[in-house]
């Protein structure tokens, strides 16, 4: 509570006139600034936030006398100082307010009560009552004067007899009075209620008289129209039951419920979770305002008033407080709680709890955007809202009303409930996941409105409606019979990641529309020849060479060809809808694009933007200043049960103008808002909204799509002209560009380019993606986990001078190697160790430190091309690594941009990516069925692909046919040799080699998530020259064949069956055999060269023919194998891809066991060098394996260990 106040002004209204505050200040002798003002005092619950005797003067401006209750008078007296003044102003419209207020003040203990004459300055508050609190304080004392006269003396005669009072009572007096028989006092009897009636007849008679109802109507309520029992929302203006709550026909008792007090403050969400269940007494407090209801008097008059107020009191009075309130009333939420239910809950209570607590009701009751006087650009039209500006511009119109009429005429499509389940799922609602679909429906619906009815069309105020308007709404109904329903969109976009319950991005949404339009067109051509989508559709993507990654390019020749195809070659042009997916930043939109986005709304062809806040899609249809004006799809078209209950319980919704209009469509009695194509009398209010919402443009998600509708060739030419002017204003960073044509080999005309998915999910072989990179390139992986490795300077000189390799992949950021490759011209990929990934994900500061230490010192001289974050992170069962991967990549990208901006030597920011194993795929056969593991796909892979698309980096995959489950029968298939091939039954495509199948499986998985346009790079492939006895195909000759054929095939430009006519960048694994690597023999023998730089075999990678010396394979080391039960000894070593964090846990576990000596891997021990986790873990894990009997489960170590028959001992380090 506040301590003191010189003067206090309270009112039961939303605001208090400054003149009244000034009058109080003058009367109290204080300045206006010293006056504390409280509005809507009824919400205080009868308590003022001040200490006792802490306020000098009080002004109460009360609109109605009944709001000035006895409790409030008592509260004013409590806070007033002794001798303090109180002024009360009230409206003269009440009957004799002067006398009423004076009486209350006198009964409240005030003195010198007097009324003032009516004020001519204020017609609303014209009666002023002035009073004064007594000058003494509670607890004070003063002496009483003793009486000067003595008390009169009374003489009592002791001999007089006293009368026994009981003897004065007769037998009738001693009889117990009998109450009237209930039947005798029944409402409706001819007898009248007595004065002191206690049986309830008096209240019933007053009710009958006040409501003008007969006794028969009370006893047997009936309805001629059938709506009387539904509540005031459905009753006519002359209904005799107006004011009564809903009732069932024929019921005799009508429960009026408990009162709700206007202006009360309450935590709506918490109260909704405690709504009463079946069995709660009707006399309990209103569940919506539980614990905050003002007490009601027991008198019959006040009981009736409380009952009658219930039906006309808004649920909003329990939820919202005026913004003028200057404090919060804190009440004990534990008081007056309703009793718990004795039986099950009402279904509607559950629904209402869910609506309110989830925030849907808050959005529904939200206020509209208050527009400023600045110009509004709305779908190509300019509205001059300033009264000072004229509308001389032919393209502009004036006035808020004109703009709102246009806004409310746009098609509004929102979340819906109660439709048929979507395909094989159980989803009958799209709440919380369908906003992108609904936003795209709104954009396409505007295009259809513009095409059929014109841009100037406005929704008529009277029925019947235009049949074309009704036909458009019908196409967006929620059933498979409606052409553009959510059911059909999800089915069409299945191959791009669209699925019930999942959120998708704008690019995948545009592709889904492309597929759906094509499918509908094919079906209509077969069935009736009618066209449901009367225009061509052009999804614009790719740079000038036909590739994704640069600014999208609108190709005039492509648009012309699409129009020609739409017209079946009969004419060269048709109406066309252009959808331009864009990614304008990473976490937030790049500010340089905001002015360009604003200007697109000035295009007469504008259809707005499909976008919104991150993860929350909206339909942005206009701009004002730096705010986007949008239609929000996040309102829920509620089911009939919920709507009817709201009408019955809270008739406020039926007449309150706050709810009417903008959301009148919500209060319909239909579950789904499907409209029959021929129903021109249909209620279409649920498809329109007059509530304008706004969003700061710099808060828009950088992933969005812009729409444009061009009616004819002239309109398209005008669009191209405006777009070209926009490019000139972009300062080198346009949203999109316009060209006449593209290279024939890169023709983007076929708009089903990303694998050409048809409506049934099958692949259209004629529409395969040939838009991959032509850069190609052959690299090699340079690892140094071996003994006697050559110096990095010699390796760099050899690779740059004597080989065909144009890039090299480092498995770390070794400074010696980075310095060695300076000036060689080779592109270098640097790798962040897996153990460093969580640290880099933690903060951008850590990423900047890593860049400054590991890349920046060498970046000017060494051609660092990429930074690879970890190696095969997603394939490892490490939650910390998984969740850190994408944040680390984002932080590194930002750090590289900040620390190493583009320069003359380095024309672009270093790319960031990460290599993956094929273990990320849950299915890879047939290739067209490729998909990522469930859970990983949406949680990790999809954000990763979004990052790669936004930054233009490739998706990198390690593809090894050697690990593809080889048998002697499949060797030819894996080695590119003549074989029968494998046919993908889903596509009919024939695969002649295993590497193509592996790459297409990855591409199919990416396509399912909507990222088929992201480039694929083979970050590692190769074949071992030696292996275990059980490893099929290991050998030098086979390794030579595979590597030669892989380089030749991926660089030939043939591509793969699903990605034809393209070359692939690949990196051969690896340059050297590395004898310190753990695992099977094959892991140490993937090299093209031995450590002494003699070739293992001729892989055809030299620029000049050279004599190959020493082709004999000599794995190092090659110890003798000790005999065992199966004739071989066995050792336990880490798996090649084992996580270093997990291996460190293995070391701690083993070396913490009693009886196991790990001294050999401690400093100074025989196995301390090399000092790394893999080497130490190999020794520790094998020690545990040998000590416990060489059981297979003793080498499991959480699936990080593997048994080998080759002794991993080296030098003085012996693995016993």
The 10 Å Cβ neighbour count of residue 242 is 16
**Predicted confidence band at 1201 (pLDDT cuts at 50, 70, 90)?**
confident
Q: Check if the beta carbon of residue 1021 is closer than 8 Å to that of residue 1069.
A: yes
If asked whether residues 783 and 763 sit together in one domain, one would say no
- Per-residue pLDDT band for 643 (boundaries 50, 70, 90) equals very low
Please enumerate in sequence order all residues whose Cβ is within 8 A of that of 997, keeping only pairs 6 or more positions apart, or say none: 924, 925, 926, 927, 982, 991
Structure tokens at 752: 């089903």
DSSP for residue 11 = E
Taking Cα atoms as reference points, which of 769, 698, 846, 786 lies closest to residue 1078?
A: 786
474 counts as catalytic? no
- State whether residue 430 is helix, strand or coil: coil
Q: Which residue has the higher pLDDT, 41 or 405?
A: 405
Tokens of 820: 């060695």
Assess whether 216 and 291 both reside in one domain.
no
Q: How far apart are CA 324 and CA 354, in angstroms?
A: 30
What's the pLDDT at 274? 41
Buried b (16+ CB within 10 A) or exposed e, 12-22: bbeebbeebbe
Alpha helices by DSSP H, 454-534: 467-475, 486-492, 506-527
**For the residues 1119-1127, what does the mean pLDDT come to?**
43
Task: State the pTM of this model.
Answer: 0.41
List the structure tokens of 1115: 């794995």
Asked whether 1179 and 1167 are in contact (CB, 8 A), the reply is yes
Whether residues 35 and 126 fall in one domain: yes
Q: Which residues of 953-980 are buried (b: 16+ CB within 10 A; e: fewer)?
A: bbbbbbbbbbebebeeebbbbbbbeebe
pLDDT at 813 over 70: yes
In the sheet that holds 955-958, the strands lie side by side as 911-913, 864-869, 827-832, 807-810, 778-782, 1066-1068, 1016-1021, 955-958, 915-917
pLDDT reported for residue 854:
93
Q: Residue 218's pLDDT is what? A: 59
Can you tell me whether residue 36 is helix, strand or coil? strand
Q: Is 482 marked as a binding-site residue?
A: no
* Residue of 409 and 3 predicted with greater confidence: 409
Least confident of 166-170, 549-553, 777-781: 549-553
634 is catalytic: yes
- pLDDT at residue 654 greater than cutoff 80: no
Checking if the pLDDT of 827 tops 90, the result is yes
Distance in angstroms (rounded) separating the CA atoms of residues 85 and 917: 84
Distance from C-alpha of 716 to C-alpha of 573, rounded to nearest angstrom:
10
Q: What is the pLDDT of residue 366?
A: 40
What pLDDT, on a 0 to 100 scale, did the predictor assign at position 651? Answer: 46
Both 928 and 989 in a single domain? yes
**Average pLDDT value for residue range 305-309:** 39
Span 429-438, pLDDT tens digits: 888 889 999 9
Of 875, 872, 984, residue with least CA distance to 921: 875
Tokens at 625, concatenated: 């200043």
Alpha helices in 80-196 (DSSP H): 97-107, 171-174
Give residue 870's pLDDT band: very low, low, confident or very high (50, 70, 90): very high
Counted residue by residue, the chain has a size of 1216
Count Cβ atoms below 10 Å from residue 207 Cβ, excluding itself.
Answer: 19
297 shares a domain with 237: no
Q: How far apart are CA 686 and CA 1007, in angstroms?
A: 36
Domain boundary, last residue among 98, 133, 168:
133
C-alpha–C-alpha distance, residues 133 and 77, integer Å: 7
Residue pair 941/920 in contact (Cβ under 8 Å)? The answer is yes
151 vs 1178, residue with greater confidence: 1178
Per the listing, tokens 């380095």 go with: 906
CA-CA distances (angstroms) from residue 684 to 418, 419, 473, 778? 18, 17, 8, 61
236 annotated ligand-binding residue: yes
For residue 55, give the CATH number of its domain: 3.40.50.150
User: What's residue 892's pLDDT?
Assistant: 94
CA angle 951, 953, 958 (to 5 degrees): 150
For residue 24, pLDDT over 70 is answered with yes
d(CA 427, CA 501): 7
* Displacement of CA 245 from its chain's centroid (Å): 40
Contact 634, 641 (CB under 8 A): no
**Please, which residues bridge with residue 537 across strands?**
577
Spatial neighbors of 161 by CB under 8 A, at least 6 apart, are none
* For residues 447-457, average pLDDT: 94
Instruction: Considering only the C-alpha atoms of the chain, give the largest distance between any 2 of them, rounded to a whole number of Å.
Output: 157
d(CA 409, CA 465): 13
The per-residue pLDDT for 690 is 86
Looking at residue 1000, its pLDDT comes to 96
Is 158 part of any domain? no
Q: Considering the domain boundaries, does residue 1061 fall inside one?
A: yes
Q: The tokens 């004013």 sit on which residue?
A: 76
Same structural domain, 1073 and 1149: no
Is residue 1167 annotated as a catalytic residue, yes or no?
A: no
Residue 894 has pLDDT above 60, yes or no: yes
931 and 996 fall within a common domain: yes
51 vs 364, residue with greater confidence: 51
Express each pLDDT in 842-865 by its tens digit.
Answer: 888 899 999 999 999 998 889 999
CA-nearest of 810, 836, 1065, 1068 to 953 is: 1065
| pLDDT at site 374 | 87
> What is the pLDDT at residue 707?
96
For residue 987, give the CATH number of its domain: 3.20.20.80
Name the catalytic one among 435, 1132, 1158, 1195.
435
Does 185 show up as a binding residue in the annotation? yes
865 Ramachandran zone, left/alpha/beta (phi>0; psi -120 to 50): alpha
Per-residue pLDDT at 1191? 81
CA distance 505 to 610: 10
Cβ neighbours of residue 83 closer than 8 Å, sequence gap 6 or more: 132, 133, 134, 135
Tell whether 1151 is in a known binding site: no
Average pLDDT, the chain: 76
Q: Is residue 561 domain-shared with residue 702, that is, in the same domain?
A: yes
Does residue 969 or residue 773 have the better pLDDT?
969
Band (pLDDT 50/70/90 cuts) for residue 37 is confident
Q: Are residues 514 and 423 in the same domain?
A: yes
- Residue ending a domain, among 95, 112, 133, is 133
Closest CA to 625 of 603, 607, 601: 601
Residue 590: the pLDDT is 85
Is 194 part of any known ligand binding site? yes
Please check the confidence at residue 149 and state whether its pLDDT lies above 70. Answer: no
With left for phi above 0 and alpha for psi between -120 and 50, is residue 510 left, alpha or beta?
Answer: alpha
The catalytic residue among 632, 701, 753, 829 is 632
CA–CA separation, 124 and 89 (whole Å): 9
Distance in angstroms (rounded) separating the CA atoms of residues 1058 and 825: 33
Could you tell me the pLDDT band of residue 446, with boundaries at 50, 70 and 90? Answer: very high
Judge if 243 and 343 occupy the same domain. Answer: no
Hey, which of 271-275, 886-890, 931-935, 1138-1142 has the most confident mean pLDDT?
886-890
What are the tens digits of pLDDT across the range 409-419? Answer: 999 999 988 88
Q: Which of 1052, 1084, 1116 is the last residue of a domain?
A: 1084
Q: Is 659 annotated as a binding residue?
A: no
Angle at alpha carbon of residue 48, lines to 24 and 126, rounded to 5°: 35
Q: Are residues 870 and 844 in the same domain?
A: yes
Can you tell me the distance from the alpha carbon of 1176 to that of 177, in angstroms, rounded to the nearest whole number? 102
Instruction: Render pLDDT for 588-637 as a digit per residue (tens, 0 to 9).
Output: 888 889 999 999 999 999 999 998 888 789 999 999 999 999 999 988 86
Q: Which two tokens stand for residue 402?
A: 């004109």
Residue 110 maps to a domain: yes
The closest of 770, 861, 853, 767 to 820, measured between CA atoms, is 861
Two tokens at 722? 């405006």
Question: Which has the closest alpha carbon to 628: 609, 646, 614?
Answer: 609
With 0-12 / 13-18 / 19 or more C-beta atoms within 10 angstroms meaning exposed / middle / buried, residue 550 is: middle
Q: How many helices (H) and strands (E) does the chain have?
A: 33, 35
For residue 857, being part of any structural domain is answered with yes
Please name the residue that has the structure tokens 């009169």: 152
pLDDT of residue 169: 77
Q: Strands 989-991, 982-984: parallel, antiparallel or unpaired by DSSP?
A: antiparallel
Alpha-carbon gap, residue 585 to 947, rounded angstroms: 10
d(CA 229, CA 251): 10
pLDDT of residue 198: 72
Number of structural domains (the chain) is 6
- 152 in a structural domain: no
Q: Kindly tell me the burial class for residue 286, based on how many C-beta atoms sit within 10 Å of its own C-beta (0-12, 13-18, 19 or more).
A: buried
272 within a domain of the structure (yes/no): yes
Q: H-helix or E-strand containing 442?
A: helix 435-453
Domain housing 347:
268-361
Q: Which two tokens stand for residue 883?
A: 């969740």
- Report percent pLDDT > 70 for the chain: 69
Closest CA to 779 of 739, 831, 741: 831
Q: Is residue 863 part of a domain?
A: yes
Task: Kindly tell me if the per-residue pLDDT of 384 is higher than 80.
Answer: yes
Task: Check 634, 688, 916, 1003 and give the catalytic one.
Answer: 634
Rg (CA), the chain: 42
Of residues 239 and 990, more confidence is placed in 990
**CB-based contacts of 1118, cutoff 8 Å, min separation 6:** 1206
Tell how strand 616-624 and strand 376-378 pair up: antiparallel
Domain membership of residue 675 (yes or no) is no
Question: Are residues 1002 and 870 located together in one domain of the fold?
Answer: yes
> Over 50: is that where the pLDDT of 342 sits?
no
- As a whole number of angstroms, the distance between CA 486 and CA 425 comes to 13
Comparison of pLDDT for 1145 and 528, the residue scoring more: 1145
Three-state DSSP class for 641? helix
For 450-459, 584-593, 647-656, which range has the lowest pLDDT when averaged over its residues?
647-656
Please tell me what DSSP assigns to residue 417: B
Report the alpha-carbon distance of residue 458 to residue 407 in Å, rounded: 9
* Helix intervals (H) in 629-691: 640-649, 652-655
3-state secondary structure of 779: strand
């Amino acid at each position: 509570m506040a301590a003191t106040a010189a003067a206090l002004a309270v009112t039961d209204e939303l605001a208090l006139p400054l003149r009244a505050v000034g009058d109080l200040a003058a009367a109290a002798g204080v300045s206006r600034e010293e006056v504390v003002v409280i509005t809507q005092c009824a919400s205080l619950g009868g308590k003022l936030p001040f200490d006792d005797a802490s306020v000098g003067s009080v002004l109460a401006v009360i609109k109605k006398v009944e709001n000035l209750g006895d409790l409030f008078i008592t509260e004013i007296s409590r806070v007033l100082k002794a001798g303090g003044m109180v002024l009360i102003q009230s409206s003269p419209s009440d009957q004799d307010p002067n006398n009423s207020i004076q009486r209350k003040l006198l009964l409240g203990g005030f003195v010198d009560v007097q009324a003032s004459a009516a004020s001519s300055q204020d017609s609303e508050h014209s009666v002023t009552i002035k009073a004064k609190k007594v000058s003494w304080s509670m607890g004070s004392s003063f002496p009483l004067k003793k009486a000067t006269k003595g008390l009169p003396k009374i003489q009592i005669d002791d001999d007089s007899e006293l009368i026994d009072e009981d003897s004065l009572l007769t037998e009738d007096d001693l009889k117990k009075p009998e109450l009237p028989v209930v039947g005798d006092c029944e409402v409706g009897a001819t007898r009248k209620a007595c004065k002191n009636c206690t049986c309830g007849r008096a209240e019933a008679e007053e009710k009958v008289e006040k409501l003008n109802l007969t006794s028969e109507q009370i006893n047997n309520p009936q309805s001629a129209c059938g709506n009387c029992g539904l509540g005031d929302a459905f009753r006519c203006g002359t209904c005799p039951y107006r004011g009564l709550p809903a009732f069932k026909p024929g019921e005799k008792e009508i429960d009026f419920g408990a009162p709700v007090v206007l202006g009360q403050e309450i935590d709506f969400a918490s109260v909704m979770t405690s709504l009463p269940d079946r069995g709660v007494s009707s006399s309990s407090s209103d569940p919506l305002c539980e614990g905050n209801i003002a007490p009601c008097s027991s008198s019959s008059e006040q009981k009736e008033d409380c009952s009658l107020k219930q039906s006309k009191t808004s649920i909003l009075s329990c939820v919202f407080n005026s913004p003028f309130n200057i404090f919060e009333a804190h009440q004990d939420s534990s008081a007056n709680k309703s009793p718990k239910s004795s039986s099950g809950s009402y279904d509607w209570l559950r629904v209402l709890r869910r609506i309110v607590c989830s925030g849907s009701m808050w959005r529904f009751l939200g206020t509209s955007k208050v527009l400023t006087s600045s110009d509004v650009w709305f779908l190509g039209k300019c509205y001059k809202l300033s009264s000072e500006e004229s509308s001389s511009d032919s393209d502009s119109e004036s006035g808020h009303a004109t703009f709102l009429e246009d806004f409310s005429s746009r098609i509004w499509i929102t979340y819906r409930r109660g439709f048929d389940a979507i395909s094989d799922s159980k989803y009958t609602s799209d709440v919380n996941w369908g906003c992108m679909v609904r936003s795209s429906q709104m954009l396409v619906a505007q295009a259809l409105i513009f095409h059929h009815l014109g841009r100037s069309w406005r929704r008529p105020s009277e029925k019947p409606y235009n049949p074309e308007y009704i036909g458009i709404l019908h196409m967006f109904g929620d059933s498979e019979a409606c052409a553009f329903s959510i059911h059909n969109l999800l089915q069409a976009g299945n191959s791009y990641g669209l699925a019930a319950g999942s959120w998708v991005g704008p690019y995948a949404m545009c592709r889904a529309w492309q597929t759906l339009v094509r499918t509908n067109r094919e079906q209509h051509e077969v069935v009736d020849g009618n066209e449901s989508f009367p225009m061509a559709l052009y999804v614009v993507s790719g740079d000038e060479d036909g590739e994704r990654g640069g600014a999208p390019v609108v190709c005039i020749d492509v648009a012309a060809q699409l129009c020609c195809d739409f017209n079946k070659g009969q004419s060269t042009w048709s109406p066309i809808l252009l959808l331009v997916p864009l990614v304008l930043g990473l976490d937030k939109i790049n500010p340089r694009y905001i002015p360009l986005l604003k200007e697109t709304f000035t295009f007469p062809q504008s259809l707005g933007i499909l976008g919104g806040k991150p993860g929350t899609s909206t339909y942005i249809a206009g701009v004002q200043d730096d705010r986007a004006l949008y239609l929000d799809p996040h309102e829920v078209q509620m089911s009939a049960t919920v709507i009817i209950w709201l009408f019955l319980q809270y008739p406020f919704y039926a007449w309150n103008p706050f709810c009417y209009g903008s959301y009148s469509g919500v209060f319909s009695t239909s579950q789904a808002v499907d409209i029959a194509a021929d129903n021109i009398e249909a209620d279409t209010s649920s498809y329109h909204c007059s509530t304008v919402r706004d969003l700061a443009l710099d808060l828009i998600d950088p992933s969005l799509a812009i729409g444009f509708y061009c009616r004819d060739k002239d309109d398209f030419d005008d669009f191209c002209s405006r777009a070209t002017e926009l490019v000139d204003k972009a300062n080198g960073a346009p949203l999109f560009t316009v060209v006449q044509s593209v290279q024939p080999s890169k023709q983007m005309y076929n708009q089903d380019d990303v694998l050409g998915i048809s409506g049934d999910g099958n692949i259209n072989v004629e529409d395969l993606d040939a838009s991959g990179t032509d850069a190609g390139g052959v690299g090699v992986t340079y690892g140094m986990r071996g003994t006697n490795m050559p110096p990095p300077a010699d390796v760099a000189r050899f690779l740059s001078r004597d080989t065909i390799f144009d890039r090299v992949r480092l498995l770390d950021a070794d400074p010696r190697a980075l310095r060695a490759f300076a000036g060689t011209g080779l592109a270098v990929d640097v790798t962040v160790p897996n153990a460093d990934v969580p640290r880099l994900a933690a903060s951008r500061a850590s990423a900047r430190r890593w860049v400054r230490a590991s890349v920046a010192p060498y970046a000017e001289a060494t051609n660092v091309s990429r930074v690879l974050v970890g190696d095969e992170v997603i394939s490892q069962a490490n939650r910390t690594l998984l969740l850190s991967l994408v944040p680390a990549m984002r932080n590194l990208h930002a750090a590289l941009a900040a620390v190493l901006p583009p320069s003359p030597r380095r024309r672009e920011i270093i790319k960031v990516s990460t290599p993956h194993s094929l273990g990320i795929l849950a299915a890879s056969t047939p290739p067209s069925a490729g998909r990522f593991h469930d859970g990983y796909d949406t949680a990790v892979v999809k954000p990763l692909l979004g990052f790669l698309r936004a930054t233009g980096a490739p998706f990198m995959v390690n593809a090894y046919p050697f690990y593809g489950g080889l048998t002697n029968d499949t060797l030819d298939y894996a080695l590119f040799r003549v074989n029968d091939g494998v046919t993908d039954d889903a596509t009919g495509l024939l695969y002649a080699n295993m590497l193509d199948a592996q790459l297409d499986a990855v591409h199919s998985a990416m396509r399912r998530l909507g990222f088929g346009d992201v480039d694929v790079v083979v970050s590692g492939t190769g074949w071992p020259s030696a292996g275990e006895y059980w490893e099929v195909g290991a050998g030098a000759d086979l390794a030579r064949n595979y590597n030669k054929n892989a380089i030749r095939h991926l660089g030939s430009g043939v591509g793969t069956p699903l990605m034809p006519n393209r070359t692939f960048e690949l990196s051969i694994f690896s340059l050297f055999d590395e004898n310190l690597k753990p695992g099977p023999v094959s892991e140490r023998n993937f090299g093209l060269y031995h450590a002494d730089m003699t070739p293992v075999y001729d892989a055809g990678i030299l620029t000049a023919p050279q004599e190959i010396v020493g082709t004999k394979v000599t794995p190092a080391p090659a110890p003798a194998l000790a005999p065992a039960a199966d004739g071989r000894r066995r050792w336990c070593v880490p798996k090649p891809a084992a996580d270093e964090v997990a291996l460190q846990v293995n070391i701690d576990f083993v070396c913490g066991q009693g009886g196991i000596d790990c001294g050999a891997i401690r400093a100074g021990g025989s196995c301390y060098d090399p000092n790394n986790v893999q080497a130490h873990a190999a020794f520790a894990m094998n020690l545990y394996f040998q000590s416990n009997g060489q059981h297979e489960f003793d080498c499991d170590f959480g699936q990080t260990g593997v048994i080998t028959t080759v002794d991993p001992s080296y030098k003085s380090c012996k693995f016993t």
